[in-house]
Structure 1
Amino acid sequence: MAFVVRLQPLRQGHHGLPPVFCAGSSSDAAARATIGHSLEHGATVSDAPQPRYQRIKDYILSGIRDRHFLPGCKIPPELELARQFGVSRMTVNKAVRDLAEAGILLRFAGDGTYVAERKAESPLLDINNIAAEIEARGHRHTAQVMVLEAVPASEEVALRLSVRAGGLVYHSLIVHCEDEVPIQLEDRYVNPAFAPDYLRQDFRERTPNDYLMQSCPLTDIEHSVEAVLPGPAEQALLGIAAAEPCLLVLRRTWSHKKLVSFARLTHPGLRYKLRSQTRVKK
């Protein structure tokens, strides 16, 4: 298996947080009332001794789990939590910092602390069916097929697919959604010799990955990962702003040393993450 990772720094940042809505509330005051009520009813009470900062962490985690603190919701200020729990601000800061380091909270200087949006996740070292990944999370996958055609291979596509420039290749452009939210723009080119029925497929019902895995045995993959800013087409199809960073995965797949497919997979950075785990060689 060939594996390539290239990381490029972003030139622009983006706060990208939605308006604050906590547990159906439209104001910080309502959120604070919810906190006070939960505290009053022993949301964090435990018979076993535990560090004070752990009580605060457990309380925040409980609020997220019970949906009192929704993704994108601004949690109460540290000073307010310190007063309500009867602890120092330093203790609250440790609890919040730990949760931020775990990716559960997002802290912004001068603005506050927010519950992090839950991101869709894909393995970096494998080829998984995005529809199966979404369904495994208990969500619904839908696909919008924007383009499905035979086109002459451009110089870049010919180089990526190891075919003759101007020769016929199959091209598809598909938006994959999770619970109606776009999470991937799949721009794929396929060598017709290995997938002759590609253009006859209904990719609203099955993914290109699923078809290719059944059409020919995929034996090798190459991934190149870049951080990019979206162009106008990506912005429109993914429903994102010009300044929102994206994860771009360039993927090539082989079947017994023959290049089958080349794809550009663009993911909104605030909605998606890649994961990798492998055994360390000794």
Structure 2
Amino acid sequence: MTSHSLASPRKRVSTNGKKAEAPTDDGRAAPRYAAIKQSIADAARGGQLKPGDRVPSESELVDQFGVSRMTANRALRELQASGIIVRRAGVGSFIAEPRPIGQMIEIRNIADEIRGRGHEYRARVVRNSEERATAETAPLLGVPVGTRLFHSLIIHHEAEFPIQLEERFVLASVAPDYARIDFTQMTPNEYLTRIAPLERVEHRVSAVMPDARTHAMLGLADSEPVLRMTRRTWSRGRLVSHAWLTHPGTRFELSAAFSVDD
């Protein structure tokens, strides 16, 4: 994938011969980092840069715009904070896709959500194993210590970007084949919905700073927060699943819509 060159913001020359900043609409000089931001944002809005396109690196911006590395870095950081670009450590910066919206009320399969947006879905299974409930995990499902559980950890990708880290504990007696399912072909949500029809769902959402493991698995930028949904599901009168669904805060939002009866 190639990066795109951007037109350098126009410069004016002061009477003493030194380069001045690009003028704003009111005639004042705009900071150079703001001019770079505007150039990239305009290219994204105008379609010259499309979602997924690589934008110039810090070094390339330094060469194209004749600015310091610090100025180029600030422009990229602020573009990321605005949701215009996403940055992947060791890979580069890219024009962001329109921010995906997850449904809080409907229990939808994340693979279907991603494909419904016209994007490729894939999953990487980090863990899917049987274990015994400990003093820490037993309360998650309201079971005695020593109860058989399944513990899965899966990274869901939208196009090339990790969009959700799913960590789930499941009551083994309700889903005895859970550890043998290929969750690159079927999501845990899809499997559990088939064998343990939902009766009740509980959601809780919070914005938190990620730990080192989450930071690495989701490819987060430094100091990037996450949206973490805690989801508990019941079937046939039993609490059967406890999951943490963690999303990059700058790449995802949650919404809910419902009708209210008179």
TM-score by length of 1: 0.62
- Say which of 144, 154, 161 aligns to 1:174: 154
In terms of fraction of residues, the more strand-rich structure is 2
Q: 1:67, CA displacement in angstroms? A: 1.7
**Which SS does the other structure have where 1:233 is aligned?**
helix
- Say which of 243, 258, 261 aligns to 2:223: 243
The alignment of Structure 1 onto Structure 2 pairs a total of residues equal to: 194
**Which SS does the other structure have where 1:221 is aligned?**
strand
> Where in structure 1 do 4 or more consecutive aligned residues deviate above 6 Å?
103-106
1:255 aligns to 2:227 (yes or no): no
Q: 1:28, CA displacement in angstroms? A: 3.8
Q: What letter corresponds to residue 142 of structure 2 in structure 1?
A: S
1:272 aligns to 2:226 (yes or no): no
The answer as to whether partners of 1:223 and 1:250 remain within 8 angstroms in 2 is: yes
- Say which of 179, 204, 208 aligns to 1:224: 204
CA RMSD of aligned residues (A): 2.8
Percent of matched pairs sharing the same residue: 41
1:145 aligns to 2:129 (yes or no): no
Report what 2:113 is aligned to: 133
Distance 2:215 2:42 in 1: 35
- Structure 2 unaligned regions, length at least 5: 11-40, 56-81, 86-94
Distance 2:122 2:107 in 1: 19
Distance 2:100 2:119 in 1: 10
Distance 2:219 2:104 in 1: 24
Q: What letter corresponds to residue 221 of structure 1 in structure 2?
A: V
The answer as to whether partners of 2:165 and 2:246 remain within 8 angstroms in 1 is: yes
Q: What letter corresponds to residue 206 of structure 1 in structure 2?
A: M
The answer as to whether partners of 1:194 and 1:260 remain within 8 angstroms in 2 is: yes
- Say which of 154, 169, 173 aligns to 1:193: 173
Q: Structure 1 residues 164, 239: CA separation in 2 closer, same or farther (over 3 Å shift)?
A: same
The answer as to whether partners of 2:122 and 2:184 remain within 8 angstroms in 1 is: yes
Distance 1:28 1:278 in 2: 47
TM-score by length of 2: 0.67
